[in-house]
């Protein structure tokens, strides 16, 4: 009887501990001292808090429009217009690009956006209280200290303008990574500064470019998921961009294994096991490789 009571006490302690840990992970967002309610709880990704877009925009008093075709959100408040696209690491404030640490994304059928970047774009002050996992947004402008007048960017040089035109022309023809586009522009004779200006201001979404490049590769030849990610990284995409491209290109990796198996058999003979090993060497999983060998139509 004592053993049973001890066991029950242990379960109660564990259950209480679990509840406390779960409660500590709840993220709260307060605007001017009042909490904002969300139908999808905020999440933290790469040390950045993401919240449902409509709730945060409406709480800030901004109008929200959604373009399903381009998966782009346009929000307007006064003279400020913000555009943000799913998967793109750039936010555009009145056509000026702002780089995001984490792009907008869809979680549980809800579009989540980085709360700090959105709030600061509308002129709010944002603080994070780690002890309570709370985001504090202050929309009241401080008037005690006047804000310094920002120094305007110098006008673009002729070389920078030409690099920008060339960058847009390239993107109309094929997909590029940021570094790949800079290299191509420098190959065309632009200076490093001109090439980077062209790539920085061509309004390309590099996550979207990774998807386009992945699709173009899949149209040419079969790839495993890992093989396609490596190829995209070789093209200059970041690790996150490459993974996003491979995950969003619409490829069926089992069917890709079948196509790759057939390609190999057109070049040389294989045993069943040898073909599986070769497919695994190409980056296919064990299950994908076996599926490819089983469905390639070979007579062993």
Q: What is the pLDDT of residues 220-273, one digit of tens each?
A: 999 999 999 999 999 999 999 999 999 999 999 999 999 999 999 999 999 999
Alpha helices in 74-222 (DSSP H): 115-121, 158-173, 178-187, 192-200, 206-220
Whether the CB-CB separation of 202 and 168 falls below 8 Å is answered with yes
176: CATH: 1.10.10
Would residue 271 count as lying in a domain? yes
Do 118 and 66 sit in the same domain of this protein?
Answer: yes
- Domain housing 183: 158-204
Structure tokens at 95: 């056509």
- Residues paired with 129 in a beta bridge: 134
Assigned domain for 10 exists? no
Residue closest to 29 by CA, chosen among 155, 118, 90: 118
From the number of C-beta atoms within 10 Å of its C-beta (0-12, 13-18, 19+), residue 144 rates as: exposed
Go through 39-78 and write b for each residue having 16 or more CB atoms within 10 A of its CB, e for each that does not. eeebbeeeeebbbbbbbbbebbebebeeeeeebbbbbebe
Supply 49's token pair.
Answer: 């808090």
Q: Does residue 148 fall inside a structural domain?
A: no
Please indicate, yes or no, if residue 239 is contained in any of the structural domains: no
Domain end (from 167, 182, 204): 204
38 shares a domain with 91: yes
**Whole-number pLDDT of residue 32:** 86
The answer to whether residues 176 and 184 touch, using CB atoms and an 8 Å cutoff, is yes
Q: Tell whether 67 and 169 lie within a shared domain.
A: no
Residues of the chain with pLDDT under 70: 1-25, 140-146
For residue 144, the model assigns a pLDDT of 55
Q: How many domains does the chain have?
A: 3
Which letter does DSSP use for residue 112 in this model?
Answer: E
Tokens linked to 221: 């030849």
pLDDT for the residue numbered 169: 95
Q: What is the pLDDT of residue 140?
A: 63
In contact, 246 and 232? CB cutoff 8 Å: yes
């Amino acid at each position: 009887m004592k053993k049973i009571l001890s066991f029950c006490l242990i379960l109660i302690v564990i259950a209480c501990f679990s509840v406390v840990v779960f409660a500590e992970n709840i993220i709260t967002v307060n605007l001017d001292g009042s909490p904002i309610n969300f139908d999808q709880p905020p999440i933290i990704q790469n040390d950045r808090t993401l919240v449902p877009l409509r709730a945060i925009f409406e709480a800030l008093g901004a109008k929200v429009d959604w373009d399903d075709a381009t998966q782009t959100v346009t929000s307007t408040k006064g003279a400020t217009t913000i555009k943000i696209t799913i998967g793109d690491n750039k936010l555009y404030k009145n056509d000026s690009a702002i780089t995001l640490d984490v792009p907008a994304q869809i979680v549980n059928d809800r579009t989540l956006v980085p709360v700090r970047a959105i709030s600061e774009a509308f002129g709010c002050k944002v603080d994070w209280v780690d002890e309570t996992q709370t985001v504090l947004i202050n929309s009241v402008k401080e008037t005690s200290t006047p804000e310094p007048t920002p120094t305007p960017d110098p006008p673009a040089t002729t070389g920078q303008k030409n690099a920008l035109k060339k960058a847009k022309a390239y993107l109309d023809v094929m997909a590029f990574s940021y570094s790949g586009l800079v290299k191509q522009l420098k190959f065309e004779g632009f200076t490093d500064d001109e090439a980077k200006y062209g790539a920085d201001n061509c309004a390309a979404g590099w996550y979207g470019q990774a998807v386009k490049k992945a699709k173009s590769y899949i149209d040419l030849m079969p790839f495993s998921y890992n093989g396609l990610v490596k190829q995209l990284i070789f093209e200059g995409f970041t690790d996150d961009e490459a993974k996003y491209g491979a995950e969003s290109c619409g490829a069926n990796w089992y069917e890709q294994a079948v196509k790759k198996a057939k390609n190999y058999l057109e070049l040389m003979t294989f045993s069943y096991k040898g073909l599986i090993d070769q497919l695994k060497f190409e980056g296919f999983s064990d299950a994908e490789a076996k599926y490819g060998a089983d469905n390639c139509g070979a007579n062993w």
